[in-house]
Amino acid sequence: MQVYHLERSTTADFTGIKNAHSVLAKNVEDANYKFVYENLPMVRNLYYRLKYFNQSGSFKYSKVKSIFRGLETVAELYPNPVLKDEFYIRLNDNLKLENVEIRVWSSCGEKLSTRRASSYVESFKTEGWAPGLFVVQLLKNGQLRSTQKVMVY
């Protein structure tokens, strides 16, 4: 049996390893694993590699795989879809909170909420909302920076 660590970093040289998950398997082909990361760092690129140990304690690394996430993310909504009565918006740490406004609209165009962001994680109660698709807008200094959809059940 070998131990495999799945490592994630925001740097290609892995100087900033953020997570390591262990998997025990006979060989790399049998290393069947699945991880769901919530609250990923809001960066454009993420890098992954496997570090595997043999019985003598020495280890090797797999090739580095990179995931390009597109433009820098301004905010992330979770959970999406919303199965309970609340969802969260996590703002990018690089975004200064002053003059940040969050608006939530129904699919019919009704404004349900408008608020100034006071922290990097804002929660929204969906109690009383009809199930459906909602639009969340984030504005900085009055300029639209992000539009995302959230599904509420």
pLDDT tens, N- to C-terminus, the chain (153 residues): 667 777 888 777 776 555 556 666 666 555 555 666 655 666 667 788 888 777 787 888 888 888 876 656 788 899 999 999 999 999 987 788 899 999 999 999 999 999 999 999 999 999 999 999 999 999 999 999 889 999 999
Both 88 and 137 in a single domain?
A: yes
pTM above 0.85, yes or no: no
pLDDT at position 21 is 60
Token readout for 91 is 């703002």
47 in the same domain as 16 = yes
Domains: count for the chain: 2
Tell me: do 21 and 60 sit in the same domain: yes
Whether residues 136 and 81 fall in one domain: yes
Specify the residue for token string 């006071």: 118
- Co-location of 60 and 93 in the same domain: no
Same domain, 59 and 104: no
| Parent domain of 42 | 2-68
Name residues whose C-beta falls within 8 Å of residue 32's C-beta, 6 or more positions apart in sequence: 23, 25
pLDDT at residue 126 in the model: 96
User: Do 42 and 90 lie in a common domain?
Assistant: no
130: CATH: 2.60.40.10
Q: Report pLDDT for 117.
A: 95
Statement to judge: residues 56 and 111 lie in one domain: no
140 in the same domain as 102: yes
Examine the domain organization and report whether 86 and 145 are in the same domain: yes
d(C-alpha 145, C-alpha 124), whole Å = 19
End residue of a domain, out of 12, 47, 68 = 68
